[in-house]
Amino acid sequence: MMNNLTKTFTCLAVSLAIGGGPVYAQARIDVESIARYVYPGNTPDSPKSFTYLPDGESYLLLGNDGKTIERYETATGKLLETVLDVSHTRESSVKSVESFILSPDGSKILLYTSKTPVYRHSFKADWHVFEIKRNILRPLSKQFALQQAPLFSPDGRMVAFVAGNNIHIKKIDYDSEVAVTKDGEADKVINGIPDWTYEEEFATDCSMAWAPDNSTLCYLRYDEEKVPKFSFPLYEGYCTPSAQYALYPGTFSYKYPVAGQPNSVVTLHSYDVETRKTKDIQLGSTAVEYIPRIAYGGKSAERLMAVTLNRAQNRMEVFAVNPKSTVSKSVLVEESKAWLNPMAYEQIHWGDDSFVISSERSGWNHLYEYSYAGQQLRQLTSGEFDVTDYYGTDAQGNAYFQSTAQQIDGQGDRGALSRVVQKIDKSGKKTQPVTPSNGWASATFSPAMNYYVVNYSNEQTPPRHTMRNTREKDLRVLADNAEYAARYASLPRKEFFTMTSEGYTLNGYIIKPSGFDQSKKYPVIMWQYSGPGSQEVTDRWRMDWDYYAAAERGFVVICVDGRGTGGRGASFRDIVYRNLGHYETIDQLAAAQYAASLPFVDGSRIGIAGWSYGGYETLMAISDTASRFKAAVAIAPVTSWRYYDTVYAERYMLTPGENEEGYRASAPIERVGNVECSLLMMHGTADDNVHLSNTIEYVSRLQETGRVCDMLLFPNMNHSINGCDARALVYGRMVEYFARNL
């Protein structure tokens, strides 16, 4: 692995065009100069994630060397005891621990070594069970070297896990294993863990749920046999080289349904631990295409909650299921004229006697409490702002949530720039902020809701992490990043502004060069993401390449959140429904016009760039007939929504059969004939999210029209293009490209 930041890289950028031969241009990228601005060199300090004991009064932390797990007092941070020392365990041992999970009763720990990635988020590992009082460490499984998604039973006496696409249960008291399923098979059937699409788009890595009385394990089964398979080559590469591919590339293949193709058929099942019998559960609705979540509601072993979606993802139906009788009852239906905000089904909070969902039925995202019979009990929040997270309710009945700020100095549009942590008292009548009304705040609560850590920053202040109790008393500062802040004290700062596009007020920021001179004319790099519900223009700390471009390379950097982005209600976001790229492009072109109107900007030297959806919108913007961009950089872009996965593409576009014209109009690949500016495309060859084929097919269409494109590929890198200073190389190459072409 190559981590020496003093190295410079020589990039061989190949310009691809039809006819003649390739045109080569070399550029040396000084990684050292940019590395302190981008990941991982730009990362501020933050406390480790606390694993709280059930009462919340203490928590566990993994030692820095991975050889101990220690318990600390929550209020003071005082070290209380060493819970695990890998050099003094009974029965078996490990050299070190990579991470761990505490059982619900606090008596046992699941720890792992030998982590092996499956997809971007999921992994297999060599898991062990540690019994704290007896100091006994045992392998989770004697049959399988690696296991995935282990899940403790509520009493901590069993662990369900997946190996070979089948579910197994480890009974810790007897040190025995039982197979729950036997039909799992690669590329055909997956039990207990999600397929690629569910993991990537529904943010889940486990599809199992234990009954509160430990009697039943419910799980989802994914039949992916009819899902088309996608393959891409693997090379030896330069970052963690794979020697087996030195002479002949390997292949990575997996099931990936593109828009309009078959999804996995997902079914719900229950397994009785005592009788070892499995039952199939029918939900009684023909509209069910997806089951993004299952969970038990409250303390009843006869109430499994199944959250379902239709294929268009504009109708959610929640079922209460008795896993023993398999009888199901619909308790809630939520619908939208566009798509449902994923928070509606991904972040339902199941309480003892009720559950809390979020809904945009008022035009803004707010919290609603329901009984398990389906009766609305109350609306927790209301107003012209969006709730963006719900943390739970403490012992006094105070509900805590995160939201956009309602107003800042009378400017409602600016409220979206901030996040505020607030609480509502038990009566629901008194709401108060527990963090500043501007800047960006989030909170992480203990399971008992008696302590929480606030993470607060703003554009000028790096994150400050503070431990509090729910009496709103600051107990101690966990990280203030004072030394980190000093490293960047001399840099120019973001300035926020608003502009209009077709009558809509849009939020933006600008970073001016160091030594800014109002009388000079500067080139501009416009950065954007633009995806539905996203936000780039926020009043929070974010050190990145844009400060390098402004401070050290003399660029003005501008970013504008156009229509479709988040934090400003459903109507502002949903306008892009069935027509991705249309309004976003109008707004980015308006942003370029705004930039050109500034007295210190050279309107003939404006570039645009973005990553993923931002790369997609970059290509859409430069292929509009009204484009005024001189250069562009598209990183890992989607070039047609027909190439992207069902869940994401169809959420916003429906299927190609339902919206053929929308898919055609929204595809940059259909507009290459309008591209007249210099263009650099960068992509990881092992991107399992936005496949390299997006870029390859786009380049092919460019060649068809005789147009030239520069391209830089990252061998064996995924969508994030991380590791071995690759991130610094991406942004270094991007800034260098603009320096040469603007």
Residue 148 tokens, joined = 């995935």
Whether 116 maps to a domain, the answer reads no
Q: Which residue has the tokens 């050109």?
A: 596
Residues composing the chain? 742
pLDDT for 20: 34
Q: Check if the beta carbon of residue 291 is closer than 8 Å to that of residue 317.
A: no
- Distance between first and last Cα of the chain: 34
Q: Which residues pair with 453 in a beta bridge?
A: 444, 467
d(CA 248, CA 308): 44
* Minimum mean pLDDT range among 427-436, 451-460, 607-616, 668-677: 427-436
Query: Are 509 and 632 within one domain?
Result: yes
Round the average pLDDT of the chain to a whole number and report it: 94
The pLDDT, as a whole number, for residue 13 is 44
CB proximity list for 674: less than 8 A, separation 6 or greater: 622, 623, 624, 625, 627
pLDDT tier, 406 (very low <50, low <70, confident <90, very high otherwise): low
Quick one: 359 and 494 in the same domain? no
Distance (Å, rounded) from C-alpha 619 to C-alpha 666? 11
Is the same domain home to 504 and 372? no
- Structurally, the chain folds into a number of domains equal to 2
E strand spans, 519-555: 522-527
Residue 6 pLDDT exceeds 80: no
Give the mean pLDDT of 315-344: 97
Asked whether residue 27 carries a pLDDT value surpassing 70, the answer given is: no
Q: What is the pLDDT of residues 336-373, one digit of tens each?
A: 999 999 999 999 999 999 999 999 999 999 999 999 99
Same domain, 357 and 495: no
**Among 359, 379, 399, residue at a domain's last position:** 379
| pTM across the whole model | 0.94
Which of 358, 379, 400 lies at the terminal end of a domain, its last residue? 379
Closest by alpha carbon to 388, among 399, 402, 367? 402
CA-closest candidate to residue 390, choices 417, 363, 426, 350: 350
Higher model confidence: residue 1 or residue 351? 351
Q: Is the pLDDT of residue 16 over 60?
A: no
Distance, CA of 206 to CA of 15 (rounded, Å) = 44
Residue 352 and residue 494 in one domain = no
Report residue 413's pLDDT band, with 50, 70 and 90 as the boundaries.
low
In a domain, 465, yes or no: no
- The closest of 249, 235, 355, 234 to 293, measured between CA atoms, is 355
Q: Are 629 and 619 in contact (CB under 8 A)?
A: no
Quick check: 529 pLDDT over 60? yes
Closest CA to 634 of 576, 582, 709, 583: 709
In a domain, 37, yes or no: no
> What is the DSSP code (8-state) at residue 450?
S
Q: Which two tokens stand for residue 387?
A: 């709730």
- The answer on 701 and 575 residing in a single domain is yes
Residue-wise pLDDT tens digits, 439-483? 999 999 999 999 999 999 999 999 999 999 988 889 999 999 999
Alpha-carbon distance of 418 to 587, in angstroms, equals 22
CA–CA dist 134, 195 (Å, integer):
38
Count of beta carbons in the 10 Å neighbourhood of residue 430 = 10
- Please list the alpha-helical segments (H only) found in 577-645: 582-597, 613-622
Question: Tens digits of per-residue pLDDT, 254-294?
Answer: 999 999 999 999 999 999 999 999 999 999 877 899 999 99
Whether 366 is in a domain gets the answer: yes
**Tokens 């234990």 belong to which residue?**
210
Q: Which residue has 């080569």 as its token pair?
A: 24
| Nearest of 689, 667, 587, 680 to residue 634 by alpha carbon | 680
Which of 8-14's residues contact partners 24+ apart within 8 Å by CB, and which partners? 8/32, 9/729, 9/732, 11/712, 11/729, 11/733, 13/680, 13/710, 13/711, 13/712, 13/733, 13/737, 14/710, 14/711
Q: Which of 110, 112, 216 is nearest to 172 (CA)?
A: 110
Integer Cα distance of 615 and 666 in angstroms: 13
What Å distances lie between residue 553 and 33, 512, 647, 686, CA to CA?
11, 11, 40, 31
In a domain, 705, yes or no: yes
The pLDDT of residue 445: 97
Give the end of a domain, one of 325, 352, 379.
Answer: 379
Q: What is the pLDDT of residues 332-341, one digit of tens each?
A: 999 999 999 9
* CA 380 to chain CA centroid, nearest Å: 27
Q: Where are the beta strands (DSSP E) in 617-718?
A: 631-635, 678-684, 709-714
Amino acid at 240: T
Q: Residue 286: its pLDDT value, please?
A: 78
Q: What six digits make up the tokens of 287?
A: 């509209």
- The residues near 664 (Cβ < 8 Å, ≥ 6 apart) are 670
Residue 414 pLDDT exceeds 80:
no
Q: What is the CATH number of the domain that holds 612?
A: 3.40.50.1820
Percent of the chain with pLDDT over 70: 95
Domain contains 386: no
Res. 297 pLDDT band, cuts 50 70 90 = very high
- In the block, tokens 């590791």 appear at 723
Tell me, what's the pLDDT at 8? 35
* Statement: residue 564 has pLDDT above 70: yes
Task: Give me the pLDDT at residue 9, please.
Answer: 36
644: in domain: yes
Residue 454 lies in a domain: no
The β-bridge partners of 370 are 355, 376
Is the CA virtual torsion 41, 42, 44, 50 positive or negative? negative
Q: To which residue do tokens 């501020």 refer?
A: 44
**Peptide linkage before 47 cis (omega within 30 of 0):** no
Whole domain around residue 365: which residue ranges? 285-379
pLDDT above 50: residue 646: yes
Give residue-wise pLDDT tens across range 44-66: 999 999 999 999 999 999 999 99
| CB-based burial label for 712 (10 Å; 0-12, 13-18, 19+) | buried
